[in-house]
Structure formats: C-alpha cells, structure tokens
Structure 1
Amino acid sequence: MQDTSALLSLADRMLWITALVAAPVLLASLAVGLVVGVIQAATSVNEQTLTFVPKLAVIALVLVLFGSAMLGLIGDFTKEIFDLIAATGQS
C-alpha cells in the first residue's frame, strides 16, 4: 500500500512539473495567436501563415527567459527519481 501511494505521489508531481514546464510556452503562444487573430479579423487579412513568425519569436523569447528555470525543475525532479530508485534498490 505504501508503494502505491509513493507511486501516485510521484505521478502527481510529474504531472505538476510537466504543467509548470509547458505552461509558459503554451500561454505565450496562445496570447500571440489571439492578438494576431484579432488583428487579422479587424483588417480582413486571412493569411494562415501570418501567425507563425510572431509565435516563433515569442516562444524563443520565453525559452530564453524561462529556459533555465524549466531545466532546473526537470533536473531536480530527475535527481529525485534517481535517488528514489537508489533507495529502493538498497532496501
């Protein structure tokens, strides 16, 4: 029973870290897409590829600004998983 609760806790933490890592990129992409969509609707310019370059630029900026924090979260979680694996192997 204790193993099941530890695995569920680990799965819960994994999903939370995944959401934290993906959220800045997804929210920035959503915001840029919404702004460009409103501009396209106002100007009646319906070019499908027009949103690609602004989204790409904003995603690159978000990754530059938040990339180290994202990798830090992933690295800490990976270290925790390996520590749990080592502790399980010793017992």
Structure 2
Amino acid sequence: MDDTATLLALADRMLWTAGLAAVPVLLANLAVGLVVGIIQAATSVNEQTLTFVPKLATTALVLVLLGGAMMGLASDFLKDVMAQIAISGR
C-alpha cells in the first residue's frame, strides 16, 4: 500500500513539474498569437503562416532565457525520483 501512495505522489509531482516547465513557453506563445491575431484582424490580412515565425522566435527566446531554470526543475525532479527508487529498492 505504501508503494502505491509513493507512486501516486511521484505521478502528481511529475504532472506539476511538467506543467511548470511548459507554462513559460505556452504563455509567451499565447501572448504572441493574440497580438498577431489582433493585428491580422485590424489589417484584414488573413495569412495562416504569418503567426508561425513570431511564435517560433518567441519559443526560441523563452527557451534561451528560461531553459536553464526549466532544466534545473526537471533535473531536481529526476534526482528525487532516483533517490525514491533507491529507497524503495532496499
């Protein structure tokens, strides 16, 4: 029973870690998509591929600026998972 609770706790933490790592990229792309959409609506330019380049550049910029913090978050989680595996393996 204790192993099930441990696995569920790790799964819960995994979902939170993945969400926290994805939020900066998703919010930045949401903001860029909204701004480009407003500009397209105001100028009546309905080109589907127009939003691709700004979103790609935003994703790259966010990953350059916050990629280290996102990777640190993921590596801390991985260290905890490995420690938990070592404890439960005894």
Per the shorter chain, which TM-score range? over 0.9
> Offset of 1:4 from its aligned partner?
1.7
Shift of 1:88: 1.3
CA distance in 2, matches of 1:81, 1:39: 46
Q: Name which structure has the greater RCO, CA cutoff 8 Å, separation 6+.
A: 2
Partner of residue 84, structure 2: 84
Identity of aligned residues (%): 70
The count of corresponding residues between Structure 1 and Structure 2 is 90
TM-score normalised by L of structure 2: 0.95
- TM alignment of 1:11-50, pairs within 5 A: 11-50=11-50
**RMSD of the alignment, in Å?**
0.8
With the length of structure 1 as denominator, give the TM-score of the two structures.
Answer: 0.94
Letter in 2 for 1:41: A
The secondary structure found in structure 1 opposite 2:89 is helix
